[in-house]
Amino acid sequence: MKQIEIFLPMIPPTATQQEKKINFKTKSVYQSDASRDARAKLRAYLSKEIPEEPLTGPIHMTVIWGFPSSEKHQNGDWHISKPDLDNLQKALQDVMTELGFFTDDCRIAQLQTSKIYTFHPGVSIVANTMKGNAYELE
């Protein structure tokens, strides 16, 4: 079983890939500057962690998005406001695919993800290959 463990010491982006802009003159949809910047931030942090070989086969991935705690939000509180967790996750998986962590994010067969407030903001990622099938988990 191959495993990748990464902690990105950053304040997670609040813009997501779902944020689009519309040019009404040309009737085209394009990615917002904030969304592009968020992907660039993820790419910059992840580029230091690229594995020698991509994970293959079915992948289990656990991601914790840690936002800065404050007087209003204590360490360990759930982060239940924007950005949406699924949109954050999609941007992360797309960037990880671009950088070669796995050949395609469709290989992620099992995903656990959460958003919390913490004293140590960042993104914690653990990804590993799985053997067998869903009824024979190790």
Sequence letter at residue 14: T
C-alpha angle 66/15/46, rounded to 5°?
Answer: 60
Q: Which CATH class is domain 3-136?
A: alpha beta
Sequence letter at residue 49: E
Coil vs helix vs strand at 65: strand
Residues 6+ apart with CB under 8 A from 40: none
**Of 6 and 133, more confident:** 6
Residue 86 has pLDDT above 80, yes or no: yes
Q: What pLDDT, in 10s, does the model give residues 13-25?
A: 987 655 454 556 6
Alpha helices in 1-138 (DSSP H): 33-46, 85-99
- The pLDDT of residue 22 is 56
Contact between 104 and 54 (Cβ < 8 Å): no
Comparing CA positions, the residue from 95, 88, 125 lying closest to residue 12 is 88
The pTM (predicted TM-score) of the whole model is 0.86
Comparing CA positions, the residue from 79, 96, 81 lying closest to residue 42 is 96
Contact between 30 and 20 (Cβ < 8 Å): yes
Distance CA 23, CA 20 (A): 10
Q: What pLDDT, in 10s, does the model give residues 41-71?
A: 999 999 999 999 999 999 999 999 999 999 9
